[in-house]
Each structure stands twice: as C-alpha cells, then as structure tokens.
Structure 1
Amino acid sequence: MQITPVKMSDLPQIMAIEKAGFSADEAGSEAAYQERITKLPDTFLVARDGAVVLGFIVGPAVPQRYIEDAMYDQTPTNLERGGHQLVFTVAVSPLARKQHVGSQLLTALENDARAKSRTSMALTCLERLVPFYEANGYTNQGVADSSHAGETWYNLEKALV
C-alpha cells in the first residue's frame, strides 16, 4: 500500500467509498469532492494498491479549532503554515477494512501537519467511531456544535505541539 496525494482521476473510486461508508445525508457530493481535490491537494491523501483506491483522508488547514458546518458547503483554502488541521473525512473501502488503512491515513496527514507547524488535528465523528479515534491518540472534546445530516457529532482532537 502507498499513500499519495489525490488525483482527479481517483474521484470515481472516492465517491464509491464515500457512498459505502456514509448515509446519503452524511456523504459529500461529487461536486464537493471535486472542489476538495482542487482546493486541498496537499491535505487530500489516498491509500492505494496500484490503481485501486483503498481509502482516503481529506480536510483543510485553517485558523478554526473545529469543523464548522459551513465548511462542508464551501471548502476553505489551506493555510500555508500553522493553524489547525481539520479532517472532513476518513473513509476506507469495505474491501480494505480491518487492515489499519484508516490509522495509516491519519498518521500520514498528522506527519504533514507537524511538518507545517499545525497546532492540532481535529475532526467530528459519530459516537460509534469515538473508540477508533481515541485508539489513534485523539481526545473526545464532547458534542460538536453541528447539525450536519441531523446527527449528533463529537469533536475529537489531537494536540500536535
């Protein structure tokens, strides 16, 4: 497995993984992913086995500590250095689950964030996923101020300094 920057040609496989891992209300649209590929090329990573996308991670590096719902509608531009690395999505193909792909993607983005002097990494997740992120060094900061897809989301954060 290799972890590489995303390519626009990865979009069909990314969308298939997105739809397999999230409800229709939770999932990002194809247009949103096209925008993320264009605006976040250095913080959109893909785990691949040859031409097959096994999973991906994407999010902006911004001044805000946590994800805000409006960021899903209009992708922020990455800060060059500093700020907080947010994670909109970590998603793994059903065929590659239980192989630590998600953890390896988190580590790869964390390494990039540290190299760019980010203060922290943060994401929101559903309650059932909290243990996975805690096992990867994240701390549950409580219920997020989010109404995305009508779900209850939790802020998870990992200090990088």
Structure 2
Amino acid sequence: MNIKYATNEDIAEIAAVEAECFPPAEAATEKEFVERVKYYGNHFWLMYEAGKLIAFVDGFVTDESDLTDEMYKNAFMHDENGAWQMIFGVNTLPDYRKHGYAGKLICRAIDDARQQGRKGLVLTCKEKLVPYYAKFGFSDEGISDKSTHGNVVWHQMRLVFDR
C-alpha cells in the first residue's frame, strides 16, 4: 500500500471514490475537490493499491474548534498554521472495506497532525460510527449543533493531544 498527498492529477479519482462512498447530498463534487486540493492537498491522505485509489481521508486545518457546514464548501478557510486538523471524509471503496485501510489513513492523519504541532483532530460521524472512531482516541462530544451537512444528524468527535 502506498500513501501519498493529493495533487491535481488525483482529483478525478478522488471524486469518483467519494461518489461511491457517500450519498449525493453528502458527497463533495469534483469541482469542490479542485478547490480542496488547491488549498490543502497536503491534508489529503490517499491510499493506492496497484495504481488504483482505494481509500482516502481529507480535511483542512483551522483555529476554529468545531467543524461547521461552511467548512465543507469553503476550502479557502484552510489555515496551514491552525490548531485543529479537521477530517471531512473517510472514504474506502466498498470492495476494500474491512481490511483496516481507513484505519491506517486515520493513524497517518493523526501522526501528521501531532508532528505538525496541532492541538488535535475533529470530525463528525453518524452515530453508528462513534465506537469506530473511539478506537483511535476520539471522544464523542454529542450531536453537532454546527453541522447538518446533507440533512444528517452528526456526532462531533475530538482527539486532543497531550501537551
């Protein structure tokens, strides 16, 4: 497995994987990924197997402590010096699930954020995934009042680094 950061050449594959992993109301578009990669391609963790993108994690960095719906649409809000690594998506193609690939990418994002001196990471997830993210050290902060992305109920989860 090869893990790398995103470049413009990866955008079409990223959008295709996203479309397979999320319903249309929740999935980012190829146009949105163009903006995301432009502003924070180094905060995409892409996993390839035999030249095929099979999984990725992405999200920008900000001083805002909570994940908001506005962040999904406005890649320019990224602040490379921000305190918090946000996670907008954890994507694995259906045929590659249950092999630990997403977990490897999450661990890589956590390691990178720690090495970059961030306070920690923040993500939102559906209730059924709360135990999954808890395995990586994320704490459930309850139902988000700042994100209803795709008209879904999201739990905000946070991993805080010891300082």
TM-score, scaled to structure 2: 0.93
Contact kept, 8 Å, 2:63 with 2:79, in 1: the verdict is no
Give the percent of matched residue pairs that are identical in Structure 1 and Structure 2: 28
Letter in 1 for 2:155: Y
How many residue pairs were aligned? Answer: 160
Could you say which residue in structure 2 is the equivalent of 1:67?
Answer: 67
Letter in 2 for 1:132: Y
2:44 corresponds to 1:12: no
Measured in 2, the distance between the counterparts of 1:10 and 1:50 equals 15
Could you say which residue in structure 2 is the equivalent of 1:108?
Answer: 108
- Aligned residue for 1:42, secondary structure, equals helix
CA RMSD of aligned residues (A): 1.2
Measured in 2, the distance between the counterparts of 1:77 and 1:149 equals 21
The runs of at least 4 aligned residues of structure 1 exceeding 6 Å deviation read: none
Matches within 5 A, 1:9-88: 9-75=9-75, 76-80=77-81, 82-88=82-88
5+ residue gaps, structure 1: none
Measured in 2, the distance between the counterparts of 1:89 and 1:13 equals 15
Deviation digits for residues 100-149 of structure 1, max 9, x if unmatched?
11111111111111111100101001112112111222111100121211
5+ residue gaps, structure 2: none
- Aligned residue for 1:40, secondary structure, equals helix
TM-score, scaled to structure 1: 0.94
Measured in 2, the distance between the counterparts of 1:11 and 1:50 equals 18
